[in-house]
Structure 1
Amino acid sequence: MQLRDALDDYKRYVESGTRFPGERRTTGGRFTGDADRLVHITENGSLRDFGYPLSGLTGIERSRFGLRVDETIIWFDDSEVTSTQSYGEETVVKTVHKTARGTVTQYDRTVGRTHLTQFSVSTTSNVGANNISIVAYVSLAPDGQDTRIGQLHHDESIEVYHSDEHDFISSSTGFRSFRGQVPAKFDDVLATDPTEYPRPKADGRYEEDRLSGDVVCYLPLEDGQVTYATMLTSRAETTRPEAQDLLSGLFETYADELEYPPTGTNHSTRYAQRPNAPTITADLRVLSLLAAPTGLRIAGPDFDPYYVHSGGYGYTWFRDDAEISRFLFETDELAELGLEEWHERSARAYCVAQRDDGSWPHRVWPHNGSLAPGWANARLEAGSNDDYQADQTGSVIAFLARYRSSITDEALLEMVDATLEKALESLDETLEQDGRPVQCQNAWEDTIGRFAHTAATFLEAYSALAASEYERAAHARAQADRVYDAIDDLWVTDRELYAMRERPATEIANGKSRIDRRADAATLALVGAHRAYAAIGSIDEKRRTRLCSHLESVIDTLWHDPDESEVSGLVRYEGDGWRQRDQDHEKIWTVSTAWGANAAAQLAELLSDADDPRAIEAAAEAERLLACIALDGPLSASTTYLPEQYFDDGTPDSATPLGWPHALRLATTVLLEESDVASALRQPAD
């Protein structure tokens, strides 16, 4: 997103009560992607690339399509969109535009680093073929630049380049005509009204056609159709002739296939025997779209690259990513989803990204694992652990320890064991004498303290190691016992829940109590951690009762059901004021709600294994919360995507789709599907 676009968006939404000005939202529309390219198609069919974190290539920053009849242009964003849909594992997005001069059906599909957009035109009047064409405006930003860009005009394509990144535009029918366009002038940027693109051709600017990333193309139709393509390339990887040959081949291969569901393996078919095949398909599609070839995933499409209202989302967090990997692995074990290659890529990526001290950095670029901008890199700097997120290391260990049992490649097993050895040492270094983790940053990345959630990730990690055949399993078992005993230090008797944290000494010195008694959705991780511990140790009735009370108290406290809309679910924690805009209440989060559903499902299994009759109540709670994020639930968009947050009026907000709740939805759906206690719950009464 270039600054000009951010300022335009600011002009449009500065007065909005539920929109943050200057962002590039994906809360509407759909994505298509392949390999390391990720393209967003808005409700009106315009395109924008979001794949820079996955490939290192920027691509399309702005676009607009329309129908030209005689000398009149009908832009699709001014027309009625009658339907949008997506289908298939590889994802083809269909958009139908209803215009005053006819219907245009648009199909979008990404193949490797090439995005194909096919237009099929059916006019309502007799218009000669020479008098009708598709208008395609696109602004490319090679190497993330919107200035100091050049164009080369070839016989069958237009090349837009900066230094390493060279992007190509082509059409199955060629170009009736085209023109370049230099960036908006200062007066346009500073004007009160947003700039409309494309802008009129500049007078007297002989260099305009060659010194910009903006291109306006008029595409002739053949039999009422044309396919438009943009290809992103790296000069170091692809030569100019290779790129042009590839484009020609793609037109021949795919021009007639975009109208139909893509061929090849389809998740819907593969999982057709499972009652929740549509959910499995939807969640795996999202998690695939967000993944780089390295196996690392972005948290979500980056809607705020200037960090105006957030710290950015287009990076790999090892907490989120490892939690996703663990949920995928556990779900694969239950449902045999065939994700072996996914697990191996993730494991290798974590081993490579580990720091010498055994920990993992705050955020990395998924396309190469290099350090990305972040604010929790204390272990790379001089200082305390305050600005370190120890739960990330715990989450990676928990996945690797579980995945270890399925490894058949000796070299990979040695790599994983070497990684676990250093990681275990790092975890031990950040465990205090009292059996709880050190003071550090929390899962929500906005507070310092000694958190119940961090303790949960440590218990999960130590327990997973202890249950494995790893050579230091006995040591991990002893550490798990210490954490298990210490967790009760955070029990709040009168609230019947585990507290969010122990506060830092500086806050206590200022008169605050040692224990932060607030309910926190992240503490729901304690349930899954105890289920992991149950594989190596005994959970007594008192602890089971406390887990039941904790789940009930946290869900009751954080549950929010606003009157002004149909949305309902869990907020993050008491007093969460982030991204509220004009709202005076904490916002509902899909990850909190999904966490609640998963914790309840995990508790049902834990109780069932102990023949505890309270299992049925936990399963019922899991089903209730899962319904909020189900495909037809109030927190799931019509696209099946889960936005990170919702305003009380039902407006979705923030990263969309967010990977973490999709993994939670998938894992919880399959766990309940396989659960005996949940099956009993669904049986009709006699």
Structure 2
Amino acid sequence: MTLRSALDDYKRTRNDARVFPGERRSTTGTFSGLDERLVYVDRDGWHRDYSYPLSGLGGVNRSRFGVESLDGTMWVEDFETLSQDYVGDTALVKTVHDAGDFTVTQHDLTLGAVHLTRLELVGEFTTEPTLHAFFDLTPEQQESRLGKLEHEDTIEIHHDRQHNLVTASTGLDDVFGQLPEQFGELVSATDTVSYPRSQSGGSKYEDALLNGTVVLEIPFDVEDTGTETVATTTVASLLFDTDDTARQAGLDAVAEAAVAHDTVAALREAATDQVDVTVPDDTPRRDLAVEDLRVLSLLAADTGAHIAGPDPDPFYVYTGGYGYTWFRDDSEIARYLLEADERLGIGLDDWLDRSAAFYMDTQLDDGSWPHRVWAHNGNIAPGWAHARLEAGDDVDYQADQTGSVASFLAAYLRLGEPAAPNDIEATLELALDGLDSTLEDDGLPIECQNAWENMTGRFVHTAATFLQGYASVARAPVEDRLRERAREGARAVYEGLDDLWDDDEGIYALRIDPDGDLDSRLDSGSLALAEAHREYDAIAEVGEERLDRLATHYETTLEELWRETDDIAGLYRFEGDPWRRRVQDDEKIWTVSTAWGANAATQLGSLLAASDDDRAETFYEEARTLFAEVDADGSLVMDNGYLPEQLFDDGTPDCATPLGWPHAIRLATIAQLDADGELD
């Protein structure tokens, strides 16, 4: 998203009660791109790139398709959209539009650095139709200092190292340069600009050549069947870096891609070949497994790292951005995938090994992991919790991330078949250094930032990740000295958790605040306690008093954080959460918290069942109730299967969509419920 398009969106949506004006939302459409490029296809037919965090390349910022006939140009967004779905298990997106006299069937597929849009028009036309395609292209995410080069049947937009190409299987009849929004239009309080402009150029002959906006006139292949007219074309765009691909090679590649995929059969075959994991037919809730793995593949870079979600707010107006890899949710995604694969046998070995390699490559010298990094290369990304990289001693560090990575690596060493087990062991030894250096004598982690990144203190969630991290290393096939060291750390945290118990409220407090007082609000981050204690139970006994406290805490937390409206139901993050409410008075429901609640209730049920505790069934029932809201027809699930980060009370999805973390939790919960014989 560029500043121009952000301001345009701001003007159009600033009075909307449930929209954050100026963002680039992905809450109404569907994504394609299981490789280096991530492209959003809206139900209205246009598409744009969210590719930069995954590839380092900028693509389509804005686009628009229209059909010209004797009646003038009709734009696809003005047609009635009948449906938008994935084709089978692939990331091929099929969208059907009703234009009255004809229907438009649109297939979108992103293969590597190429995006393909095939349009098929079927119906009656007064004259042969022509496609008008508007593109606003942003190589290297630049909206200025760009150049246009017109080749035979291909347009090129370039900056420095990156070049973007667009062509069509039927060639280009004409190319019209466009003038982007000018200063007066940008600063106007109300005026917006619609493309294509009626006047393509500016006052100077170069005005339409030094930017990324362009309109292409594209002929259709037309066939008259005798009863109706069928018109087709495939538009292709390619992002390439001159360090890797010469211009002529790029021109050849984009042209070949358009021609080779000019049929639905060819697109289906390419989309099927692109899927690198085939979910077995007998997998429990196979439909959800396919959806979850597809989303996680969409959000993954070649390194194996996942971005949190497609970034709706690149200018950090309302958030701190989403198009980065956080080691907390990324390593938990990896661990949940490991747990699911162990039980379901999907075949995720390559995914898990890439994740492990990424964590080993990005570990800091002190054994910790940084706040967040770029997914495509592991370099430090802009953030606000990089205290371990800065001089001095500061609380702006998220210690739970190191605990979470250690948990995955230790579990992978024990359960998986890693390519470099010795390197993982060395990484875990250094991770123990990081955990030990941030654990106080009372058995609780230091004052730091929390998982929700909105306060500091000594958090129950951070303590849970330390407990699980230490216990996981203590179970791993590493040297005895490391296992004993980890066992001591786990025991210290297990005992230290008593300081977070509020006996009056019967819950574990959210934190000890910076003043040393107990902040006894309920927090869905505390849901991490169940899995942490299950891990600890494998190396030492979880006492009866602790089981009672966990049961009491979970009963209260799941009841009090539950909210239900006429449209949705689920858990919100924590008591008093003020974030992104807009016009809403109450806390918003989060898919992460709800899926986490289902998983945690399952984990606690398993822990209690191992002790023949009758309360186990109560928590399995809680798990099924929560899981129902993130199930295929659950109130928090979009029609395309996506779990957005959060929703307004009327069911309007908001913020990063889809969010990877809850999709991984959902898959692991299915696997655990099935293993325990508790899956409906």
Pairwise TM-score range, normalised by the shorter structure: over 0.9
Q: Does residue 199 of structure 2 align to residue 198 of structure 1? A: no
Counterpart of 2:75 in structure 1 is 75
1-structure distance, mates of 2:202, 2:351 = 54
1-structure distance, mates of 2:592, 2:631 = 13
Amino acid across the alignment from 2:254 = L
Question: What aligned pairs does 1:435-446 form with structure 2 within 5 A after superposition?
Answer: 435-446=443-454
Amino acid across the alignment from 2:447 = Q
- Three-state SS of the structure 1 residue aligned to 2:318 is coil
2-structure distance, mates of 1:208, 1:89 = 45
Q: Does residue 145 of structure 2 align to residue 145 of structure 1? A: no
TM-score (norm 1): 0.95
Question: What aligned pairs does 1:257-272 form with structure 2 within 5 A after superposition?
Answer: 257=265, 260=268, 262-264=271-273, 270-272=279-281
Asked whether the 8 Å contact 1:596–1:622 carries over to 2, the reply is yes
Counterpart of 1:394 in structure 2 is 403
Question: What aligned pairs does 1:278-297 form with structure 2 within 5 A after superposition?
Answer: 278-297=287-306
1-structure distance, mates of 2:32, 2:272 = 15
- Three-state SS of the structure 1 residue aligned to 2:382 is coil
Q: Does residue 607 of structure 2 align to residue 600 of structure 1? A: no
Amino acid across the alignment from 2:148 = Q
Asked whether the 8 Å contact 1:590–1:644 carries over to 2, the reply is yes
Asked whether the 8 Å contact 2:176–2:216 carries over to 1, the reply is yes
Q: Does residue 272 of structure 2 align to residue 274 of structure 1? A: no
Deviation at 1:90, TM superposition (A): 3.5
Asked whether the 8 Å contact 1:80–1:98 carries over to 2, the reply is yes
Counterpart of 1:155 in structure 2 is 152
Asked whether the 8 Å contact 1:89–1:267 carries over to 2, the reply is no
Amino acid across the alignment from 1:337 = I
Asked whether the 8 Å contact 1:107–1:258 carries over to 2, the reply is no
1-structure distance, mates of 2:296, 2:103 = 33
- Single out whichever of 247-256 and 140-149 deviates more from structure 2: 247-256
- Three-state SS of the structure 1 residue aligned to 2:410 is helix
Q: 1:480 aligns with which of 484, 487, 490?
A: 490
Counterpart of 1:660 in structure 2 is 661
Amino acid across the alignment from 1:80 = E
Question: What aligned pairs does 1:232-381 form with structure 2 within 5 A after superposition?
Answer: 232-256=239-263, 257=265, 260=268, 262-264=271-273, 270-381=279-390
Q: 1:413 aligns with which of 421, 425, 428?
A: 421
Q: Does residue 565 of structure 2 align to residue 557 of structure 1? A: no
Q: 1:493 aligns with which of 500, 503, 511?
A: 503
Amino acid across the alignment from 1:251 = A
- Three-state SS of the structure 2 residue aligned to 1:37 is coil
- Three-state SS of the structure 1 residue aligned to 2:38 is strand
Amino acid across the alignment from 2:546 = R
Counterpart of 1:226 in structure 2 is 233
- Three-state SS of the structure 2 residue aligned to 1:170 is strand
Q: Does residue 640 of structure 2 align to residue 674 of structure 1? A: no
Q: Cα 1:335–1:620, aligned 2, differ >3 Å: closer, same or farther?
A: same
- Three-state SS of the structure 1 residue aligned to 2:104 is strand
- Three-state SS of the structure 2 residue aligned to 1:263 is helix
1-structure distance, mates of 2:57, 2:494 = 46
Unmatched segments (≥5 aa) in structure 2 = 223-230
- Three-state SS of the structure 1 residue aligned to 2:594 is helix
Amino acid across the alignment from 2:503 = T
Q: 1:466 aligns with which of 462, 465, 474?
A: 474
Amino acid across the alignment from 2:206 = E
Question: What aligned pairs does 1:47-58 form with structure 2 within 5 A after superposition?
Answer: 47-58=47-58
Cα deviation digits, residues 387-425 of structure 1 (max 9, x gap): 000000000000000111356566x12221221111110
Cα deviation digits, residues 550-570 of structure 1 (max 9, x gap): 1111111111112xx310111
TM-score (norm 2): 0.96
Asked whether the 8 Å contact 1:189–1:195 carries over to 2, the reply is no
- Single out whichever of 84-93 and 255-264 deviates more from structure 2: 255-264
- Three-state SS of the structure 1 residue aligned to 2:359 is helix
2-structure distance, mates of 1:172, 1:139 = 20
Amino acid across the alignment from 2:85 = Q
Alignment size in residue pairs: 666
Q: Cα 1:150–1:266, aligned 2, differ >3 Å: closer, same or farther?
A: closer
Q: Cα 1:457–1:76, aligned 2, differ >3 Å: closer, same or farther?
A: same
Q: Does residue 211 of structure 2 align to residue 212 of structure 1? A: yes
Q: Cα 1:258–1:628, aligned 2, differ >3 Å: closer, same or farther?
A: farther
Superposed CA RMSD in Å reads 1.6
Amino acid across the alignment from 1:480 = A
- Three-state SS of the structure 1 residue aligned to 2:9 is helix
- Three-state SS of the structure 2 residue aligned to 1:551 is helix
Unmatched segments (≥5 aa) in structure 1 = 509-513
Asked whether the 8 Å contact 2:314–2:321 carries over to 1, the reply is yes
Asked whether the 8 Å contact 2:41–2:48 carries over to 1, the reply is yes
Deviation at 1:269, TM superposition (A): 6.4
Counterpart of 1:635 in structure 2 is 636
- Three-state SS of the structure 1 residue aligned to 2:218 is strand
